[in-house]
Chains A and B, each alone.
Chain A
């Protein structure tokens, strides 16, 4: 009897308490509330401590997952977080936004019979506890090397490069185009999924360790890559993200009330427009909102619209539920909050009123045909199935492209045919000596942890380059 109970215990994953959907529809506070220590210990106890753990392979930065989970189980919470910090500088962020189901948790053997260990929840727990108790990362710092590195862009890629190079004794300066550092973590991902205080604290801690951050500096405009070298930087890392919004290019798209998700989310998050007029930046509040697209960005937009008081919020997506690129948890959260999914539907034109404001959208029904290049079944319009829907706010979340501002103004920087920077996947080296790149500007829109992984690899390569140069100064040919 007792044994049987033990077995069920093994398979029952401890869920994380959440704000009730009805309540959270009305606020921008975080939805999942975090584990208590008891919950964390209980969840950690399910770990089988595999000899060759496959979860670690699933983590792009190779956190020693079994080790930190074991430390949580033993209630050595401060050691647990230190174990994580060895590989990941932003665990409070990753524990919240990583797509664990396709990464670490996707590989967990427990997942074959039941539910995998809630690695993300545990990582978040350890990180939040450390934040609350003021435990700091006091990893020993290398002797100052006298080398200076310029980092362009303060998203997860840039922040990781900064942290890793600081630890190795190099001086770093981060140049950021916006007035606040953090990249997508501050302008894109909403407060209810990633509290901005967490990002601000991480950045403050980097500054304490000596990072210099220059906001309001658009590299390529305010200053160029060449000028950075002239100023004596020994190496440059480019992590400017993939911030160019794509539009549908269908009739009526420039009507008032049709925004890119970038604009909508930036207004809400970076400019805090959800607190208008207390903050000065306005945001359109739609009654009937449509979000086009079905990735995380679409879910974030839809859930923001719910919180801004929309009566209906509909996600319009041309394929079916299975193909939706957003995390299952986010789709679930959105539906719980009342977001409707209009699947196998594609917009064909927008309809406006006499003042040029969007008033509706004509759509066509789709069916799935043979798989296309991406391996997903290609959506095909069903003739004669056109229909109209009423809407007064449309958010376009169909992806982004490479922002050409820096790349266009930097001669000799090789790009691929989509405008992303060509960089060595192992080292991040670009076609210009002394310039590295990583994150979304190399891969196209990906994930926070992949950008961090790229940052880590680039930092390693930059460090090797700088220490090599140190030995033979005549070879620094930049």
Chain B
């Protein structure tokens, strides 16, 4: 499945597939010279021995991943990394996803539904063709709302607008938000006054994913945490999102340079 610049890859990785739980991530590397890219898994099938990742093409590495054809392989795949989502019965839950974050949200939603919760899901994207996993999300939710920025499908507007209504109408026991950092920040701010515990899944810059580089440190409740070993999920009411946004932009100019160099090579 690839719509626009959203890519799905099913990867053969039997050891990882056997162990993977919702919320955990893998690190992929495309070639000898490639970067190590952390991606949270959308699906793990222990029988087939495969894992699935869904991501948006944003830089050179994801561009390289995109160009892999069926049968090609990633040079390296390591995982499952990070802590799995704590899936338990708490009552009423809302699962909020934006963009490709829905891929990560889906197994969590399924798990929460499976644990016996009533699940209200809200997913959004810029346009209708960027909405992913709508059917799947529907099948594991008691209610599903779809939003698009341009109104081409579902509610015309942001997921937070629907969330506001849900918060007013329902007594929620848990919220889970996965998507762009800004979305997770807004969701967390919105649930705070209602005192609804909110879990967010972060994807800071990291190299090894095992606690060795410290690049993925995030400030949670004033304390440094390593997203790779302590996360990737944290209490959204305690995360310093502004700092996270700044840290995610650390290599912006290099990324542009790398993508440019890559395109030039392709053009030749």
Q: Decide whether A and B assemble into one complex.
A: yes
Contact assessment for B210 and A276 in the assembled complex, using a CB-CB cutoff below 8 Å: no
Q: Please provide the 3 A-B residue pairs with the shortest distance between their CB atoms, ordered closest to farther.
A: A356-B246, A282-B254, A263-B213
- Selected from B60, B213, B243, B261, the residue in CB contact (under 8 A) with A245 is B213
Known: A260-B214, A262-B212. A177 touches B219 (CB 8 A): no
4 additional A-B pairs beyond A260-B213, A356-B242, A404-B211, beta carbons within 8 Å, are A178-B208, A221-B19, A263-B214, A271-B207
Q: Does A254 lie within 8 Å of B214, measured CB to CB?
A: no
B134 CB to closest chain A CB (Å) equals 32
B88 at interface by CB-CB < 8 Å? no
Q: Are B33 and A279 in contact (CB under 8 A)?
A: yes
Give the contact stretch, choosing among A210-218, A302-310, A368-376, A420-428: A210-218
Within 8 A of B (CB), among A256-311: 256-257, 259-260, 262-263, 266-267, 270-272, 276-282, 284
A309 to chain B, nearest CB (A): 14
Q: Which B131-179 residues have a C-beta within 8 angstroms of A? A: none
B221 at the binding interface (Cβ < 8 Å):
no
- For residue A247, CB closer than 8 A to chain B, the reply is yes
Contact A179 B15 (CB under 8 A): no
A177 to B208, CA, bound (A): 8
A58 / chain B contacts, CB cutoff of 8 Å: none
Query: Are B255 and A282 touching (Cβ within 8 A)?
Result: yes
Chain A residues positioned under 8 Å from B60 (CB to CB): 280
Specify which of A187, A257, A356 lies most central, judged by the most chain B CB atoms within 10 Å of its CB: A356
Chain A residues 220-248 with CB under 8 Å of chain B are: 221-223, 243-245, 247
Q: A222-B15, A282-B251 are in contact. Are A272 and B33 (CB under 8 A)?
A: yes
Establish whether residues B250 and A257, one from each chain, have CB atoms under 8 Å apart when the complex forms.
yes
In the bound assembly, the distance between CA atoms of A321 and B83 in angstroms comes to: 43
Assess whether A276 is in contact with B258, with CB atoms less than 8 Å apart: yes
| Chain B residues whose C-beta falls within 8 Å of the C-beta of A135 in the assembled complex | none
Residues A271 and B35 in contact in the complex (CB < 8 Å), given A256-B249, A277-B261, A282-B251: yes
* Assembly CA distance A422 to B213 (angstroms): 25
Stretch at the interface among B70-78, B93-101, B121-129, B190-198: B70-78
Query: A-side interface residues toward B, CB under 8 Å?
Result: 177-179, 187, 215-218, 221-223, 243-245, 247, 249, 253-257, 259-260, 262-263, 266-267, 270-272, 276-282, 284, 355-357, 403-405
Say whether A280 contacts B34, CB under 8 Å. Answer: yes
- What residue in chain B is nearest A257 (Cβ atoms)? B250
**Interface assignment of B80: CB less than 8 Å from any CB of chain A:** yes
B255: chain A residues within 8 A (beta carbon)? 282
How far does the alpha carbon of A216 sit from the alpha carbon of B26 in the complex, in Å? 10
Partner of B243, one of A254, A270, A277: A254
B40-69: contact bitstring with A at CB < 8 Å (1 yes, 0 no)? 000000000000000000001100100000
Q: How far is the CA of A262 from the CA of B75 in the complex (A)?
A: 23
What are 25 of the A-B contact pairs (CB < 8 Å)? Answer: A179-B36, A216-B76, A218-B209, A221-B80, A223-B19, A244-B212, A247-B224, A253-B224, A254-B217, A254-B224, A259-B214, A259-B215, A266-B208, A270-B207, A271-B35, A271-B36, A271-B207, A277-B254, A277-B257, A277-B262, A356-B243, A403-B210, A404-B211, A405-B210, A405-B229
Q: Which residue of A lies closest to B253 (CB)?
A: A282
A276 partner residues in chain B, CB cutoff 8 A: 254, 258
Q: Which residue of B15, B76, B81, B242 is within 8 Å of A215 (Cβ)?
A: B76
In chain B, positions 221-268 with a C-beta closer than 8 Å to chain A are 224, 229, 242-243, 246-247, 249-251, 254-255, 257-258, 261-262
Task: Tell me the complex Cα distance, A177–B212, Å.
Answer: 11
The contact of A404 among B19, B35, B229, by CB within 8 Å, is B229
Known: A216-B76, A276-B254, A282-B255. A403 touches B214 (CB 8 A): no
Q: Could you list which residues of chain B lie within 8 angstroms of chain A, going by C-beta atoms?
A: 15-16, 19, 29, 33-36, 60-61, 64, 75-81, 207-215, 217, 219, 224, 229, 242-243, 246-247, 249-251, 254-255, 257-258, 261-262
B78 touches A177 (CB 8 A): yes
Given known A262-B213, A277-B261, A405-B229, contact A284–B79 (CB-CB < 8 A): no
Cα A405 to Cα B78 in complex, Å, equals 14
Which residues on the A side are within 8 Å of B61 (C-beta)? Answer: 280
- Which of B34, B76, B254, B262 has most A Cβ within 10 Å? B254
B121 to chain A, nearest CB (A): 29
Cα A55 to Cα B68 with chains together (Å): 56
Known: A221-B80, A254-B243. A245 touches B251 (CB 8 A): no
Q: Which residue of A lies closest to B78 (CB)?
A: A216
Please indicate the chain A residues that have their CB under 8 angstroms from the CB of B217 in the complex.
247, 254
Pick the most buried of A253, A257, A279, A280: most chain B CB atoms within 10 A of its CB. Answer: A280
Q: Is the CB of B210 within 8 A of A177?
A: yes
Q: Is B258 in contact with A280, judged by CB distance below 8 angstroms?
A: yes
Cβ of B249: which chain A residues have Cβ within 8 Å of it? 256, 355
Q: What is the bound-complex CA distance between A284 and B205, given in angstroms?
A: 13
Residues of A near B209 (CB, < 8 A) are 218
A213 → chain B closest CB, angstroms: 13
A218-B81 in contact (CB<8A): yes
Contacts of A277 in B (CB 8 A): 254, 257-258, 261-262
Shortest B195–chain A CB gap in Å is 28
Given A216-B76, A221-B19, A280-B258: A254 and B34 interface contact (C-beta under 8 Å): no
> Which of A215, A221, A262 lies at the interface centre, i.e. has the most chain B CB atoms within 10 A of its CB?
A221
For A179, the chain B residues whose CB sits under 8 A away are 29, 36, 75-76, 78
B15 and A263 contact, CB distance less than 8 A:
no
Contact between chains at A263 and B33 (CB < 8 Å): no
Give which listed residue, B15, B80, B211, contacts A243 with CB less than 8 A: B211
A426 to B117, CA, bound (A): 55
Give CA–CA (A179, B36) in the complex, Å: 9
User: What is the CB-to-nearest-CB distance from A405 to chain B, in angstroms, rounded to a whole number?
Assistant: 5
Which residue of chain A lies nearest to B19 when distances are taken between CB atoms in the complex?
A: A222
Query: Closest CB of chain B to A276's CB: distance in Å?
Result: 7
Residue of chain B at shortest CB distance from A215: B76
| Complex Cα spacing A249 to B211, Å | 17
How far does the alpha carbon of A357 sit from the alpha carbon of B215 in the complex, in Å? 14
Rounded to whole angstroms, the CA-CA distance of A196 and B64 in the bound complex is: 26
Contact status of A280 and B81, CB under 8 A, knowing A263-B213, A405-B211 = no
Instruction: Determine if B258 and A282 form an interchain contact, defined as CB atoms under 8 angstroms apart.
Output: yes
Contact B254 A403 (CB under 8 A): no
- Distance A249 CA – B223 CA, assembled complex (angstroms): 9
| Most-contacted residue by chain B among A253, A263, A270, A271 (CB, 10 A) | A263
A278 engages B213 (CB within 8 Å): no
> In the complex where A262-B213, A262-B214 touch, is A278 in contact with B33 (Cβ < 8 A)?
yes
Chain A residues contacting B29 (CB-CB under 8 Å) are: 179
Report Cα–Cα, A282/B208, bound state, in Å: 14
